[in-house]
Structure 1
Amino acid sequence: MNTDPAPTDTAGRGAPLYRERLSPSLWTLLSAAVAAPMVSLVFVPLDATVALVAGLAVAVALVGSLVLASPVIEVRDGQLRVGRAHIPVGMLGDAIGVSGDDAREARGPGLSRSAWHLLRGGIDPVVRVRVVDERDPVDEWVFSTRTPDRVIAAIRRAQRA
């Protein structure tokens, strides 16, 4: 890892060039919310108010935890952060965004076993970024994103800074 101070962007120190939360799809959130009526049914014999409160509490807890636990993609202070992993943008090479059949290939048979990846179901586009550090056993990062062009542009801006 590089110990030099990370370059900053023109928006000010610490302001992200790009930030995206890979939140679950609407169908996943609705599926989690279906637990509320089931929990309510369990508590109906005790009291209708208790059942309603318990059902709502479970729904809010499930949906909230799904959203808050979602990984974040961020380019900030000369670093690319994907989930909990991060790498200086100076150690990154070419980045390409793929979608459709090319993305299916990148997520499946085309995924190198020496690649680091964070893939989310329901998010089709994928960004592939080559790692140019010879000491790093990972040769590329492959991760899902809804806006691959914006991620790639932010990485390039951070590399120029």
Structure 2
Amino acid sequence: MKFRWTPPQTTLGRVSSPQTPSGAAGNPAPSYVYSERLYVPAWWWLAGAVVTGVLGYEVSLAAHGALWSIAGYVVFAVVIGWLLWSMGRIRIRVTSDGELIADKATLPRSVIDRAASVPPTAKSAALGRQLDPAAYLMHRAWVKQMVLLVLDDPDDPTPYWLVSTRHPEQVLAALDLTDARHQAVSKKSESD
């Protein structure tokens, strides 16, 4: 008996419906109060150039120095450049309507119950055993911090969103949310 894997159905429902392209019929272009692009670190481009040089040199050696072997450098440069560019094309945005857009997924402010920033020291715990399989995850390994958005939407089984960002305080401020992590620290210091 053969088992065939079928992709799971989306569980994000209306929360993550694809955004309508800007300027589509009847939809004005949204204005953003916060926008961030999750670029790869600059040293990755330098490492990509080194890898391009090494691989191009290997092709040149295999071709015994033939003139066409220069194409190896070009091909590797294009492939590695495209790979690095595509890895860093993700945008995190907050519209003036209070909607978070993480790449192609959207989250209205009305369904967010509370939020917290996830510091680099707690990132591995948040992505490890504590991660709920039903959570929406927009993770980029080279971005050290994240923001946790706990949802209160009875129509959506997604408990929370974890989104990589270099500036979690600015994302929360743009969404007009307070950081629950800082509230817990201030309450603890007041009780002492």
TM-score interval for Structure 1 and Structure 2 normalised by the shorter chain:
0.7 to 0.9
The residue identity in structure 2 corresponding to 1:118 is: M
1:86 aligns with 2:106: yes
Paired position in structure 2 for 1:59? 77
Q: Which runs of 5+ in 1 are unaligned?
A: 3-11
CA deviations 1:103-152 (Å, max 9, x no partner) are 22212222222211111112221100011111101010001111110111
1:134 aligns with 2:154: yes
* Per-residue deviation, 1:69: 4.2
> Match for 2:132 among 112, 118, 127?
112
| Farther-moved stretch of structure 1 (56-65 vs 18-27) | 56-65
> Match for 2:172 among 122, 143, 152?
152
> Match for 2:49 among 15, 25, 33?
33
The residue identity in structure 1 corresponding to 2:129 is: P
Q: Classify the secondary structure of the residue corresponding to 2:110.
A: helix
> Match for 1:24 among 23, 36, 40?
40
CA deviations 1:34-67 (Å, max 9, x no partner) are 23212244146212xx555642553254224422
Percent identical among aligned pairs is 25
Q: Which runs of 4+ in 1 moved over 6 A?
A: none
Greater Rg over alpha carbons, structure:
2
* Per-residue deviation, 1:32: 2.4
Q: Which runs of 5+ in 2 are unaligned?
A: 1-13, 16-27, 178-192
Q: Classify the secondary structure of the residue corresponding to 2:40.
A: coil
- Inter-CA distance 156–13: structure 2 relative to 1 (3 Å threshold): farther
Quick check: 2:40–2:87 contact (8 Å CA) kept in 1? no
TM norm structure 2? 0.65
TM norm structure 1? 0.75
| Farther-moved stretch of structure 1 (23-32 vs 105-114) | 23-32
Aligned length: 146
Q: Classify the secondary structure of the residue corresponding to 2:30.
A: coil
